[in-house]
Amino acid sequence: MEETLKNLHKAFIGESQARNRYSMFAKQAMKDNYFELESVFLETAEQEREHATQLSKMINQLAAKAGKKPAPLMVEAEGAAMFGSTLDNLKWSIAGETHEFTQMYPDFAKQAVKDNLPDIAKRFASIGVAEKHHKERYEKIQKAIVDGTLLKKEKPVIWFCRKCGYMHIGLTPPDKCPSCDHLKEYFYTRVEEY
């Protein structure tokens, strides 16, 4: 149980840092005119906050189980305060998420099984699934930026203006939104199935 308690704290530190990094990366994406990526970073930051919330709940539950009040715990953890251009930020984000879903959460889940904490093991594994999705989404955006296909598709798609919701079908968005005058960088494409 000691090891899992430490791992929960390490994960809490990791998620907390990821949340802040993504909020900072969102601002940089804005400066670099990647407006859709700004919202992806912000959404992901909120999802990392949710992971931190779940980890914090488990830390509190373990303390209660041991008949103790939750208290600070010293653990060895990596400080990760990288910040750069949007492409750098994406690269670091992909590396961080990959580490989490291929190594950190699977290792923590295994340890939780050893510590006879199956619910915590399941939660670690499930958070890993979310991180995998984060990595894949960042990777798609990175590829589109590098390939120059973020605002230029091979087949017509539906574009939406982030500012006003204007809709346009085509290979590219309009240079300027006819409904609100915002530039083409405000357009994103998405499958809306509700």
Binding region for Fe ion (CB under 5 A): 15, 48, 51, 97, 131, 134
Closest CA to 123 of 56, 46, 169: 56
Nearest by Cα to 77 from 10, 135, 27, 129: 10
Contact status, residue 123 vs residue 54, Cβ threshold 8 Å: yes
Which is closer to Fe ion, CB of 52 or CB of 177? 52
Closer CB to Fe ion, 139 or 185, in the complex: 139
Distance of closest approach, residue 171 Cβ to Fe ion, in angstroms: 32
- Shortest gap between Cβ of 45 and Fe ion (angstroms)? 9
Beta carbons within 8 Å of 14's beta carbon, 6+ residues apart: 77, 78, 80, 100, 104
144 within 8 A of 150, measured Cβ to Cβ: yes
Judged by CB, which is closer to Fe ion: 59, or 161? 59
Q: Which one, 15 or 38, has the nearer CB to Fe ion?
A: 15
**What CA–CA distance (Å, rounded) separates 35 from 168?**
17
Minimum CB–partner distance for residue 56 and Fe ion (Å):
13
Give 15 or 36: the residue with its C-beta nearer to Fe ion: 15
Specify the DSSP class assigned to residue 29.
Answer: H
176 DSSP 8-state letter: B
Q: How far is the CB of 55 from Fe ion (least distance, A)?
A: 9
Least distance (Å) between residue 145 CB and Fe ion = 19
